Chain A
Amino acid sequence: MRIDPMAQGPVLRLSGITKRFGGLIANDGISLSLARGEVVALLGENGAGKTTLMNILFGHYTADAGTVEVMGQTLPPGQPGAALKAGVGMVHQHFTLADNLTVLDNVLLGTRPLLSLSSGRSAARARLAQLAQDFGLAVNPDARVATLSVGERQRVEILKALYRDARILILDEPTAVLTPQEADALFDTLRRMTQQGLSVIFISHKLHEVMAISSRVLVLRHGRLVGETATAQTDRHQLATLMVGAEITAPAPAKARPGATLLKLDKVSTARQGNRPGLEQITMELRAGQILGLAGVSGNGQGALADLLCGLDSPTEGSLTIAGTTPQAWSPRAALDHRIGRIPEDRHKTGTIADFTLTENAVLESYAAGGGWMNWRAARAATAGIIDKYDIRCPGPDTRIRLLSGGNMQKLILGRVLETTPRIILANQPVRGLDIGAVTYVQEQLIAARDAGAAILLISEDLDEILSLSDSIRVISQGRLSPDFPRGTKTPTELGQWMAGQGFDHAA
């Protein structure tokens, strides 16, 4: 039985929130309200302004215009303490936990007057245990946060909010870091919370989650509220269109016309590194105008193959041939000189330097061309070109890249690679963590590069992605490589068997 949620008036009302960062409008006059016991999903692509809006609500940022009302009371801007007191709790995407403290201490932090003499731990411990039981959030209160898994840390974040009697809980991309099982457990917790009258704002760009958990959906695009609807009256397709602002069609590559062999590995092995398997006698060819999809369970030698092609690792045996020539010395520089373009697996750790500007990041692989001097004028012009051509949302080429969303960061990396018209492209998890619009964009660009004659090795753990993009597929398992399966010759189930390691013995 449900009472009309708006009957008692909204528990939260945002009116006309506007926020600018430099030249970028992150939020443009956004208003929303939230009823008791309701889950509202805030849907939008990366960089649409969802997190900014919630940071204003919670008081991390001060809005340029607009007000926040909780239970009819206007919150003073820029004071998380006031938001907490009013019953707003926030689970940040990047957790705000002190690693060196215990779970209990993290929960207690800031809940007691600073000058009181007792820490109040024993009463808090009992209360925490009760909350954990009520909401299904089991976690050891005396464990140090540093020792917890990501899923456990999220539970601590939720407990922190519940401990402070939050009536409104904001969850920023809560499932991005969870396994599917952990996400199910989270949804279970959210349902228990709404049954007890809590209201939830659920930020996501994953449509199936939004459909599963929310009662109402608000869609943000480019900092504007572009749609508001009851979840029951919409569907994934409609939401996706609203979110991106255009009809989304999955890229369907035309039939490939493979050309000359650009990369040839002949019985190549590489050394094992710690837990990571090396390559074991792999033989493969990669031809111009072809996307070769490499499927496999994570940690089965994808990293070793990627490092080999990047020049970070050299064969211990076997030979590597690029466009008919065998490189003498193999190094990252040599790989670049042989026109291998690289989209690394982790765009934050190895793809970009966070505190460098877009321009500096864009020339990371070509800065040496100027003969010892940097030509910043040319570099900035080229970067401006990439920003324009690849539709990178940012204030400009002098912005530090850490301020960009994942999708925009990836677009810069993509532009950096494609503008050199590489012969071979190593695309390692190119769309991991991106929203639909960015995924489609990156995939279309890869197909276009293929059609222009590049040889592409696509490494992905997402079998659907492999199946939709690849002209032929190989499976990697324990450092061994399956035969080449041309497009359409293997079903997902058959590939799954190869991924589990079946079939390799008689194939070798």
Chain B
Amino acid sequence: MTELIDILLSASFWAAILRIASPLIFATMGELICERAGVLNLGIEGIMVFGAFAGWVTIYAGGPLWLGVAVAFGAGALFGALHGLLTIPFGLSQHVVGLGITMLATAAAYYAYRLALPEVTNPPRITPFQPLHIPVLSDIPWFGQALFSQTALTWAGFAVTGLTALILYRTPLGLALRAAGENPQAVEAQGLSVTALRMGAVITGSGLMAVGGAFLTMSAFSSFFFEMVNGRGWICIALVVFGAWKPGKALLGALLFAGFDALQIRLQQTGLGQVVPYQVFLMIPYLLSILALIAMSRRAEVPAALMTPFNRGDR
């Protein structure tokens, strides 16, 4: 029990939550934008992998850090365009296309990595984003270390969340996006193009997913290795549901999941970790997430047209 209190009181625990949550926040917002427009994007896992590679390889080749972010976004957007093309104008199954994109993007990233570095066994490191020193705030004892020792990319994640909420709820564009996910006929009848709106959402959303992946290489691990995304994309799909398709609640979900994850890592190192196999700790965030998902999402309103292709002139 005292060990648990120690963990909760340590500044590094809270700093870890923000760090673990960051990639999830980007990718969750990306998925949320897609789903709000009516497209389930199961390409998320693979797009994150490719984003991680694209960001890393840009820096490895000597590019500036923010160029890496931009390249990752662009690469994700390209996969998004492919996903969108197949699911929106062509109206193919969003499940099949999404899983296909995940496999394609993952394989493409691994293949490109091997092409770039055929001989290397130890993943080379890059110089990642450094924690941003914010005057005054970062210098507050404990709090400064716990909350204000993050990289610029983490803060960008929060900004993206705010921006997503602002656009969705306060602009005509957001209104049109939400309507496209609820009743595309309504959008069409008001003279807007459902196809253009959904394509835009999927391309932008996929770009954000890739930035989420890039966070892993450019801010968390400093190198690219296989299996590094490790199911985070799938977690983000669940976080969108957990957040009831609302940016603020989804952000909360990402932080909660990160909290469980940070906790289980530290619990492994306590006396309890001697007795209980570590795999049990690894399960904790997922188990708690499932419970939270059940509790939170029962009244959630799914976008009514999610996964329904829209064909003009179809009767």
Contact = CB atoms under 8 A, between A and B. Distances in A.
B176 A109 contact: yes
A114 B178 contact: no
A239 to B, nearest CB: 27
Contacts of A62: 313
Contacts, number: 96
Contact of B301 (A100, A116, A119, A120): A100
A81 B192 contact: yes
Nearest to A116: B172
B176 A110 contact: yes
Chain A interface main SS type: loop
Contacts of B192: 81, 109-110, 114
A340 interface: no
A370 to B, nearest CB: 31
Contacts of B187: 109-110
A101 B189 contact: no
Contact of A113 (B172, B186, B301, B303): B172
A62 B192 CA distance: 16
Contacts of B183: 96-99
A106 B192 CA distance: 13
Contacts of B189: 58, 60, 80, 90, 92, 96
Contact of B186 (A79, A96, A118): A96
Given A81-B191, A110-B192, A119-B171, A101 B176 contact: no
Contacts of A105: 175, 179
A21 interface: yes
Contacts of B182: 98-101
B173 interface: yes
Q: Please indicate which of the listed interface residues B185, B188, B191 has the most CB atoms of chain A within 10 Å of its own CB.
A: B191
A97 B189 CA distance: 9
B173 A114 contact: yes
Contacts of B185: 92, 94, 96
Nearest to A113: B172
Contact of A109 (B171, B190, B301, B315): B190
Given A98-B179, A101-B178, A60 B190 contact: no
Contacts of A119: 170-172, 175
B191 A116 contact: no
Given A84-B191, A100-B301, A110-B187, A61 B179 contact: no
Contacts of B176: 109-110, 114
Contacts of B186: 96-98, 106, 109
Counting contact residues on chain B (CB < 8 A from A), the size range is 20 to 34
Nearest to A92: B189
A236 interface: no
B304 interface: yes
Contact of A21 (B170, B190, B301, B315): B315
Interface string A42-63: 0000000000000100101110
Interface in B125-155: none
A92 to B, nearest CB: 7
A120 B172 contact: yes
A100 B313 contact: no
Contacts of A106: 179, 186
Contact of B172 (A82, A84, A98, A114): A114
A83 B192 CA distance: 12
B188 A96 contact: yes
Contacts of A94: 185
Interface string A110-145: 111111111110000000000000000000000000
A85 B170 contact: no
Given A21-B315, A96-B183, A114-B173, A84 B178 contact: no
Nearest to B302: A100
A384 interface: no
B165 to A, nearest CB: 13
Interface in A391-422: 402-403
Contacts of B188: 60, 80, 96
Contacts of A60: 188-189, 312-313
Contacts of B312: 60, 78
B69 to A, nearest CB: 23
A98 B178 contact: yes
Given A97-B183, A100-B304, A112-B172, A84 B190 contact: yes
B199 to A, nearest CB: 13
Interface in B167-211: 170-173, 175-176, 178-179, 182-183, 185-192
Nearest to A117: B171
A112 to B, nearest CB: 4
Contacts of A467: none
A100 B303 contact: yes
A160 interface: yes
Interface in B277-315: 301, 303-304, 312-313, 315
A60 B186 CA distance: 12
Given A110-B176, A111-B190, 19 more contacts: A55-B313, A79-B191, A80-B189, A84-B191, A94-B185, A96-B188, A100-B182, A100-B303, A105-B175, A106-B186, A108-B172, A108-B175, A109-B187, A109-B192, A114-B171, A114-B176, A114-B192, A116-B171, A120-B172
7 contacts: A58-B189, A98-B179, A99-B182, A109-B179, A110-B191, A116-B171, A403-B315
Task: State the 5 A-B residue pairs at the shortest beta-carbon distance, nearest first.
Answer: A81-B191, A110-B190, A98-B182, A96-B189, A112-B172
Interface of B: 170-173, 175-176, 178-179, 182-183, 185-192, 301, 303-304, 312-313, 315
